[in-house]
């Protein structure tokens, strides 16, 4: 069955450092992959979408890579700030515009 | 229209009661999704609609759960004979699919507590 894996342990980093979050998927080949941010008690908010023919996508301090051979996406936040503390969700496309999410990785950025 | 709206934001109910949640999507969005989320987990897919047609219902969803989207506008999610295990955040999302792979927009969710 299709499976999405994200680091279940929280990631703690110091302000100003780069945070790197991992998303691995198995048993399917998504045409694109999305990353969302979720704050406690709120719905997820879309951040970036990367397609299978794109190796890398950037938006301000965010960078996403997509390796279809490794079946992995990496999500980077450079020059991290305490306001970046949140849960980050990975959502590889499952076909038919049905969005399925990983469990998410909690990021804590300390000042 | 500023986004996806969900009502109520919080619901406390006694075990065995029925509850109904409402979702108003962004008006031009043809797809509407329902998810359930428990603490420390990602949103779990429940069901989704293309306009008024329900396209898929998760196998994890028991027969106590039903969803409708009459006229392809707002949607309701009903849970009959609630159980304590139904306590969770219920999220609604919408998207449009006529412009390729666009993102889903989420509401703030309805937090259900079954006592």
Convert the pLDDT of each residue in B61-71 to its tens digit.
889 999 999 98
Gap from B43 CA to chain A (nearest CA, Å):
6
DSSP letters for A48-106: EEEETT-SEEEETTEEEEEETTTTEEEEEESS--GGG-EEEEEEEB-STT-B-----EE
Q: How confident is the model at residue A36 (pLDDT cuts 50, 70, 90)?
A: very high
| Cβ–Cβ gap A97/B105 under 8 Å | no
Q: How confident is the model at residue A2 (pLDDT cuts 50, 70, 90)?
A: confident
pLDDT at residue B101 in the model: 65
Whether B25 contacts chain A with CB within 8 A: no
pLDDT at B1 over 60: no
Query: What is the average per-residue pLDDT within B56-62?
Result: 85
Closest partner residue to A44 (CB to CB) among B45, B95, B106 is B106
A49-84 residue pLDDT tens: 999 999 899 999 999 999 999 999 999 999 999 999
Q: Which residue has the higher pLDDT, B99 or B3?
A: B3
DSSP letters for B46-114: EEEEETTEEEEE-TTS-TTEEEE-GGGS-EEEEE-S--GGG-EEEEEEEE--BTBSPPPEE---EEEEE
| Cβ–Cβ gap A97/B97 under 8 Å | yes
Structure tokens at B56: 């898929």
pLDDT at A35 over 90: yes
Instruction: Identify the residue among B32, B41, B42, B92 best suited for mutation to test binding to A, counting A beta carbons within 10 A and taking the highest.
Output: B42
Whether B31 contacts chain A with CB within 8 A: yes
pLDDT at residue B81 in the model: 97
Q: Which residue has the higher pLDDT, B84 or A99?
A: B84
Query: What is the average per-residue pLDDT within B106-113?
Result: 96
pLDDT at residue A49 in the model: 93
| Residue A36 and residue A91 in contact, taking contact as beta carbons nearer than 8 Å | yes
| Residue B58 and residue B45 in contact, taking contact as beta carbons nearer than 8 Å | yes
Q: How confident is the model at residue B80 (pLDDT cuts 50, 70, 90)?
A: very high
Least confident of A102-111, B43-52, B96-105: B96-105
């Amino acid at each position: 069955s299709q499976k999405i894996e994200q680091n279940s342990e929280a990631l703690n980093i110091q302000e100003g450092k780069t945070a790197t979050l991992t998303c691995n998927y198995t048993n399917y080949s998504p045409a694109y992959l999305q990353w969302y941010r979720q704050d406690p008690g709120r719905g997820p908010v879309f951040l970036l979408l990367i397609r299978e023919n794109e190796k890398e996508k950037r938006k301000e301090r965010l960078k996403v890579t997509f390796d279809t051979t490794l079946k992995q996406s990496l999500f980077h936040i450079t020059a991290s700030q305490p306001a970046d503390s949140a849960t980050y969700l990975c959502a590889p496309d499952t076909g038919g515009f049905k969005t399925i999410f990983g469990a998410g990785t909690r990021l804590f950025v300390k000042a | 229209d500023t986004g996806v709206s969900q009502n109520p934001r919080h619901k406390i109910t006694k075990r065995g009661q029925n509850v109904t949640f409402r979702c108003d999507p962004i008006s031009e969005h043809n797809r509407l999704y329902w998810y359930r989320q428990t603490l420390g987990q990602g949103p779990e897919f429940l069901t989704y609609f293309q306009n008024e047609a329900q396209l898929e219902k998760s196998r994890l969803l028991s027969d106590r759960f039903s969803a409708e989207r009459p006229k392809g506008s707002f949607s309701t999610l009903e849970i009959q004979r609630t159980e304590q295990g139904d306590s969770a955040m219920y999220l609604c999302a919408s998207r449009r699919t006529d412009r390729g792979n666009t993102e889903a927009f989420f509401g703030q969710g309805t937090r259900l507590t079954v006592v």
